[in-house]
Amino acid sequence: MKLFSRPKLGATDTQLVLRNLSVSLSAGVPLARALRTFESDSPRSRKPLLTHLRRSIEQGKSLADAMESAPKRFPAIAINLVRTGETSGSLPKSLDAVAAHLKKMMELKRKIRSAMMYPTFVLIAVLGLGISIGTLVLPKLIPLFETLDVELPWTTRALLATAHFLDTYGLLFAGSIILLLIGVFLLTRTEWFKPHWQRFLLHIPYIGTVQKQASVAQIAASLGTLLDSGIPIHSAIPSAAMSTENRVFRQALLDTIPVIESGRPFAEGLKQAGSTFPLMSRALVEVGEETGTLTETLQYLSEYFDAEVDYAVKNLTNALEPILLIFVGLLVGGVVMAIITPIYDVTSSIR
């Protein structure tokens, strides 16, 4: 795990800085002067970054080199597009393209995060309910059921066994669960374990489909933007690969570089990745290469899979809501029935 690497510049800050520079350069304002203006008006958190960019430009460095050595890391796609724009004399256009691309990626990530908020909240509520019942309610019921002179149903016996366990090992059990969750979270943050974890997520029904569609949408959008700016495909692929957090897709895309350098089509490299990339994306890329419309094809794929992610996320939320509610109802109903049944048997025998 890289503990001392430079922090990554957020997509919002990157988009804002590059969008402002694009507007200023399009209006004829020199780059150093534009950076000086933004530096004086920027919040304290963004000031060191803009100071570094301004000083680097005043020392004669290119904007791409200044971004590459900045105290916070710019996305690789931003650096490559800016470098291409400086070389071709179309820097304002390149800056605008980067800002638009980052905005699109932010919206895609926001869709996924917002969709997962509801099920996460419900799962936390269910966990809290279970812990409350286990630590506050069940221990107080043990003496009551032990005095009842009736044969307890299996549900009540299971409830009592759970109550005994939580009464004896409750704190140890809760602490172990918390430590396990923290350990799994930290493990999934490590670079060596991320590919295995992300590959596992790709095999989970529905969630894996959303992950796959989101990764293809990100890669297609990044690669299409880079190719549209005139960057050769073998040079654009490493930056496009960094646009997705999924290490499986990142490596699969990087593995296409030797295929392209050997003179074979990009689509053939995607086919070698097997089922990692959806069949539709491989087929359309092949057609795009044959017809010379690969850039437009990638942009279409990005828009298509972006819409698919939006649709799948909404369906996932709608499907999870009744499932989680039924689960909560069964949990509470089961506990209530396990408590009421033996009490009802006792009152019936008294009559």
Which residue spans within 212-335 are E strands per DSSP?
A: none
Tokens of 289: 């290469």
For 117, the enclosing helix (H) or strand (E) is: helix 91-132
Determine the residue type at 119: P
Dist. CA 181–CA 191, nearest whole Å: 18
Query: 73 forms bridges with which residues in the sheet?
Result: 8
pLDDT of residue 246: 87
Single pTM value for the model:
0.69
CATH superfamily of 104-351: Type II secretion system (T2SS), domain F (1.20.81.30)
Yes or no: say if 137 and 167 are a contact pair by the CB < 8 Å rule: no
Dist. CA 209–CA 204, nearest whole Å: 8
Cβ-proximal residues to 60 (8 Å cutoff; 6+ apart), any chain:
none
Dist. CA 168–CA 93, nearest whole Å: 67
Task: Count other C-beta atoms under 10 Å from residue 120's C-beta.
Answer: 11
- Per domain, the residue ranges of the chain are 11-74, 104-351
Yes or no: say if 98 and 91 are a contact pair by the CB < 8 Å rule: no
pLDDT tens per residue, range 116-157: 676 677 677 777 776 676 667 766 766 776 676 667 777 777
pLDDT tens per residue, range 23-74: 888 888 888 898 888 888 878 878 888 899 989 999 999 888 998 888 888 8
Q: How many CA atoms lie within 13 A of 90 on its CB side?
A: 11
Find the angle CA(336)-CA(337)-CA(339) to the nearest 5 degrees. 65
Cβ-proximal residues to 263 (8 Å cutoff; 6+ apart), any chain:
none
Yes or no: say if 101 and 239 are a contact pair by the CB < 8 Å rule: no
Yes or no: say if 241 and 219 are a contact pair by the CB < 8 Å rule: yes
Residue closest to 267 by CA, chosen among 286, 280, 251, 253: 286
Q: Which residue has the tokens 């689509």?
A: 267
Instruction: Please identify every stretch of the chain with a pLDDT value under 70, giving residue numbers as ranges.
Output: 1-6, 112, 114-116, 118-119, 122, 130-131, 133-135, 138-139, 141-142, 145-146, 148-150, 317, 345-351
Tokens of 10: 């957020």
Question: How many helices (H) does the chain have, and how many strands (E)?
Answer: 16, 0
